Copies of this chain bind each other. A is one copy, B any other.
Amino acid sequence: MKRVSSVDVAKLAGVSQSSVSRVFSPNAKVSAEKRERILEAARQLGYKPNVLARSLITQSTNLIGIVIADVASLFYANFLSALSSQLRDLGKQVILFNVGLDQTADDVLPTLLEYRVDALIIAATTLSADMAAECAQQGTPVILFNREVELDQVSAICIDNEDGGRQIANLFLENQHRRYAYIAGIESTQTNQLREKGFMDRLLESGIDANMILREQGDYSYDSGFAAATRLLQADNRPDAIFCASDPMAFGVVDAARALGFSIPNDLSVAGFDNVPQAEWHTYQLTTIAQPLDSLLDATINVLTERLKGNESSKSKIDLFVGELRIRNSVRLK
């Protein structure tokens, strides 16, 4: 219950407090005999160095702030899981902020900055230029994950969402579909906007008549996909190819279609985005754009370590990855 500090250990071991500190520092210079005595005393007292006090002087907390929109969403839960493991291997700890899907990171960043995090990783949401400037001024590197935003001093790791939309459009076109639909994610999110733009632009470029392209509003969730598909499929001009801004919505579409008696992919082609693990499930066999999670993570870790070292070459740069089309059985081919 009573706190034990390096002074207590020093007293018990009969050495100076400095020596105790040295034993717990990576490049110690302590005689083997003293070191033993100190470690023994530490063990007896249950002593643990206080990293907060250490941070105060070293100016480094080994804390990485992660702000993430909707940890519970399938894709980001996987992302967080992998990322936090890798950070742990680097000796970094994660301090986590979960914000709403529609929220910005601005609200929570001040708190994170108060904890003097060594760096910030912001996923699935963005921050204002002002806040970016504030982080920069404090010398806190910011890495944006999955937002294509060009901000002074911040690094961005992102998949090419627009290209992903085009890839799906191409797949639909090559396999001769007639009427298309897009089910949107939360409208204000950039991810949604770019996926939609790529898909729509490609269809229009190829000469598809604009009124052969339908659109429904969703919110990335299964339920919203289910509802949107139900509306689309009960109308006279029902589509035979639906692209969803996220995999969960696509699952909803598949289920809704089957509930109405349609067969996938014979009557209806469905494609999603992200390639969450469920996309492989036997019922769905969903064609989708895979986020290359491993590459994205590697890039994130690389940029992070470089910026922590003070290397700023990745600053104000967007690192864009191409999504990989995963063709499964939810899209009619030929």
Contacts and interface: CB of A to CB of B under 8 A. Distances in A.
Contact of A115 (B52, B84, B113, B258): B52
Given A56-B53, A255-B283, A282-B259, A98 B81 contact: yes
A311 interface: no
A228 interface: no
Q: Interface on chain A toward B: helix, strand, loop, or mixed SS? A: helix
A46 B81 contact: no
A211 interface: no
A237 interface: no
Interface residues of A, number: 56
Q: How many copies does the complex hold?
A: 2
A88 B251 CA distance: 32
Contacts of A281: 222, 251-252, 255
A95 interface: yes
Interface string A1-39: 101000000000000000000000000000000000000
Contact of A96 (B70, B94, B259): B94
Given A71-B81, A283-B258, A138 B46 contact: yes
Nearest to A110: B48
30 contacts: A1-B138, A1-B139, A3-B59, A46-B134, A46-B137, A46-B138, A48-B138, A49-B114, A50-B56, A50-B114, A50-B116, A52-B115, A53-B56, A56-B56, A70-B81, A71-B71, A72-B78, A72-B80, A72-B81, A84-B96, A84-B97, A85-B98, A88-B97, A93-B111, A94-B97, A95-B96, A96-B96, A226-B282, A252-B281, A278-B278
Top 9 A-B pairs, shortest CB-CB distance: A77-B77, A72-B81, A255-B282, A71-B81, A84-B98, A94-B96, A51-B114, A96-B96, A52-B52
